Each structure stands twice: as C-alpha cells, then as structure tokens.
Amino acid sequence: MPFLSSSSSALTFLLLSSLHLPVIISLNPNPTICNDYATRLPSSSVPEPLVYDTALNPSPPPSSPDRPVLFRERNGWCPYSERAWLAFELKRVDYDTILIDNMGGRPSWYSGTTPQAMIEGDKITESLDIVKRIDAFKGQTENTPTLYPKDKDKNVDEVISLFKDVFPKFTRPSSRAAFLFRSGGMPVERKTFERTLYETDELLKKTDGHFFCGEEVTAADVAWAPFLERYAVQLPALHDGLRPRDEERWPNLSLWYKAMEEKVPAYPSRVQGDAESWRRVLMQQGFGNEAGFEKLLEAAADERGDSSSCWPMFAEGRQWLANSPREEAAARLLRNKGPIIADAIRNGGANCDSAEEALSGIISGLVDGVELKNSEEAVKLHTFLCERVCIPRDMGFLPARAMRDLK
C-alpha cells in the first residue's frame, strides 16, 4: 500500500505494501492528534498536484485537457517510468499523475505498458518519446535544464542509443530487476557486469563534465539514470565487492553518481530510490544475500554524494512541500496519518491509542529533534514504518533518509 502517497490520506480501502492484498478497515483517528504540528507545518494542508492510484480506485480519473498527464507504474519499480517521471520533474511541469499497478491490478480502461503520457491531446507510449516531448512542452517552468540542447542534440541521441549496446544482453525482462538475471534465473556473470561498468566509465570519460554530455544534465542522463541507480545497490548483492561507485575502478562513473545527487535537485528530492528499497525489491525477485544486508546498506549510504543543497531548490515555489527534508517527512506522515495508523494496527500489533501517540512521537522527532528512545511505542512504530516504506513510491530519498535516520 502506498500509505504515504498524496491520494491516500482520506481512504479506508488500503493495499498492503508487501502482500498487495485488499483490506477494508474502518478507522476514524482522533482528529486532535498532531494538530499542533499541522499548524507548524502548513504545507501538510496545501492541496498537492493530483496523484491518482488506480489500484485504490479503478474508475477513470478526473482529467483536465490543459494539464499533461503521466501514467507510471505505482510502486516506483519500473525504470522506464522513472525516465519519464524524472523528465517531468526536471522541467517543473504542472502535471497530473496516474498510478498503474503492473502486478495485475490494471483498470479495464487502461491498455498498454507504462509509462504513457497525454500531452496536449497526444498519447505517447515510449519513455524516451515522452522525455523528448516534455522537453519541448510550452508550459514548462523557465530556467529548467534543456534535455536536448540544440548544440548537442546529436550527441545526446548517440549516447542514448549506446545504452542497448553497453548493458547486458539476453537478460530476463523485469521491471524490478532490469538487466540483472539470465532467462534461467541466474545472475548475469560478474565479468559481463564489469564490462558494462567499464564501457560506461569510458563513455563518461569522453565528456567535458560529469554528466553524459557535458556539464549539464540532459536526456542522456535521464535515459541511463534509473538503471545505473539500481546497479549501484543491486550489483554488490549479486557479486561480492562489485561496486559501481568504486572511485578507483570506475572514477568517471563515481563522479556521475555524485553529480546526479548533488546537482540535479529533483533526483534525490523525489525520484531516486534508496538502498533499502532496491535491496528489498531484489530480495523479492529471489536473490540477494540477506546475511549481508546491513553491511550493504552502510556501504551504499557512505558512498552517496552530498545532496544537502538540493531540497531548497526542489521545494522553491511549491507550497505543498515543506521547508526541509525532515519537515517534509513529518508532513507526509501528517497527510496520511489515518492509513498509517490503520496499517500499524492491522500489521504492526499496535492499538489505536498507542499508534497515535507513537506517530506523534515520530513527528516530534522530525520537527523538534526529540529522541525516539524516550517512547518505546514510537521506536516500535518507527521500525515498522522503515520496514514498510518504499522509496521513491511513498516519498523522495531525502525525506525518507531523514525519517530512517531518526534515533
């Protein structure tokens, strides 16, 4: 269940995040809980752009012919959906989002794969076609990156075309584990992954900046990013010590990762997934050394770029976003306190009163820095939420990291 999505705050029909089974829960949480924080976090009551989850409501969504619409996979697993999503966010377009369940719960009115987009009355069904079309959209915000710069458009297309040659061939199609497994279910060989990383590093070496086509992010980075993002976490789980972010073996690729996390605000603020989520997705696929879980996550966190300056730039002009990642995490909890408490009662062993008090304690920790250890119930709920949350489905990397880092 995407219990932290903007469309779920008033719903009592929930979809459990791990099992994806429908559950009916009637819950009327105490309306006075967290009211003080709701006042201190005004963004939590500002209407957000539409995010319509068809797994929760299969009826056709409301539509506005003047606004672009992005149809993307609901869990944030699909790398092709991430391409389109990242492009929409980079261009700061006012758009609606329709979430599609690719696991079998698609509404009858939707056909085809994800992503898709409706832009100025045109239906677009290929991820890179969506990227190109939204880059040319007249309703975009000024001073956003040009994804197909006129002086580099051929270079951008060339780098994008190289993707299919560089990534492993003859792999099993999978939105959760793209380019990772052979058709028989075994991981791609280590030497093949190493070749992919080496060729990617050599490609980046040829540019005059840290991105694929120079000093600014372009559609080439948008095309490659979802797959390299997953590789950074998932390859070490399949082959011991195989770290795409190894600055000694692949220095240019390492710099690219940092550039995406430090210079592209929309990426770590909303679209990028985190190590915990990508590792969990990989384990759902049937592979992954669970015994090395904590070690892997610690290494992945240490290798990140410094994204501290990204949130203010991402949130600027968006009144529905809080002033900091910590406050944004608190605001997301406030917006969705009903479904969160319901899930904690149903699946976390909590009762209504204790869950409400615990949620208040977590929000207090995020906003005021109060240590969770002062409340045993808050510690339990925090652990439960960290296990249930899925990034980027439920929130962006930066607010999720703020929530996970609470002590």
pLDDT tens string 183-227: 888 899 999 999 999 999 999 999 999 999 999 999 999 999 999
Neighbouring CB atoms inside 10 A of 154's CB total: 10
pLDDT of residue 154: 87
pLDDT of residue 128: 98
Contact 252/201 with Cβ under 8 angstroms?
yes
Contact 309/269 with Cβ under 8 angstroms?
no
Contact 394/270 with Cβ under 8 angstroms?
no
pLDDT of residue 6: 39
Neighbouring CB atoms inside 10 A of 351's CB total: 11
Q: pLDDT tens digits for 84-120?
A: 999 999 999 999 999 999 887 789 999 999 999 999 9
pLDDT of residue 302: 54
Residue-range domains of the chain with CATH:
1-48+320-407 (no CATH), 49-144 (3.40.30.10), 153-312 (1.20.1050.10)
DSSP string covering 388-401: H--TTTSS-HHHHH
Positions of the chain with pLDDT lower than 50, given as ranges:
1-31, 288-293
Please report which residue ranges of 153-269 form alpha helices under DSSP H: 153-166, 190-205, 219-238, 251-263, 266
pLDDT of residue 285: 61
* Entry pTM: 0.90
- CA pair distance 344, 360, nearest whole angstrom: 14
